[in-house]
Amino acid sequence: MNQTQVTEFMLLGFSHVRPFLFALFLAIYLTTLLANSAILALVSLDPHLHSPMYFFLSQLSCLDLCYSSVTVPKILANSLRPQATISYRGCLAQMFFLMACAGAECSLLAVMAYDRYVAICQPLHYPQAMSRGVCVAAATGCWLWGLLDSALHTFLAAQLSFCSAAQLQHILCDVPPLLGAACSNTRPNELALHASSVFVGLSPFLLVVVSYLRILATVLRMPLATSRHKALSTCSAHLLVVTLYFVTANLNYNRPSSGYSLAADTLVSTLYCIVTPMLNPLIYSLRNQEVQGALWRAVRAWCVPGSPHSTV
């Protein structure tokens, strides 16, 4: 096949969803921006949320804002164009930041599970185990781990050759569609993707599972039903976020090759990269009484300046 240095890719996923794409993704993006920005503001301003659990929640909101901002603006722009395209460098940049966010979020969700484990199973050691310095170091490590993993995939993708009419069966640039469009050997990229699935995806997921098994064993030994309910209520939102994220991530990166299709890729990536960042802050807002309390205090302070609740 004719190979050449491509300057842009055609994104074929838009042909199936163009009629309602712009309005749908604009609504999702605005909701994502509003919800995650609200979480960041609440955690920053409300003293009741100045704890490790909410520090990590603010980091999750930062990641979700990055997820959406990496993908949705370009999708919105392409939905208004006769031919949806993305430049070669723009494609690699989008893939880099997308993979960086994915790797960082996997690690962050594991750290958040460990935080709940220490809080419930080892409460006397919690102030030392989850001190401010430890939390900052853990969050920094999550971001750096995601960036390192992403740099590897981006470097390998930059070595690929593509056919002259480079087409991606997708609405965005990610590793699987790039490998499908390549005309050169993709074996190193595939090996790196499988290794990443184990070390960046599966390992944090197993840490989450182990943490919650230990939490469950501790909760079942609690004598009072009210204590059990309070302990589990602090974990329910995180468990729901973890389930949603890892299920969609696994569908996005670990399906058999026969399972990849234009319609399936568009749906799965929409859930994974675009819908999940919108749902995460909503889940925490709906299932966490402390976040709800902080939200209502902020609303009262804004609506009634000078009221007893005006100081968040």
* Joined tokens for residue 204: 């944090």
pLDDT score at 192: 93
pLDDT score at 262: 66
pLDDT score at 46: 87
pLDDT beneath 70: ranges in the chain: 1-5, 14-19, 164-165, 226-227, 255-263, 265, 304-312
Total-model pTM: 0.88
What Å distances lie between residue 175 and 33, 64, 87, 169, 303, CA to CA? 26, 19, 16, 12, 47
What Å distances lie between residue 86 and 1, 10, 69, CA to CA? 22, 7, 15
Place of tokens 């197993």: 206
Please give the full DSSP string across 264-301, using - where no structure is assigned. Answer: HHHHHHIIIIIIHHHHHHHHHHHH-HHHHHHHHHHHHH
Distance (Å, rounded) from C-alpha 142 to C-alpha 152? 16
pLDDT score at 305: 59
Q: Any idea how long the chain is?
A: 312
Distance (Å, rounded) from C-alpha 190 to C-alpha 196? 10
pLDDT score at 268: 77
Correct CATH for 3-303 of 1.10.3470.10, 1.20.1070.10, 1.10.3720.10, 1.20.120.1200: 1.20.1070.10
Q: What is the domain partition of the chain in residue ranges?
A: 3-303
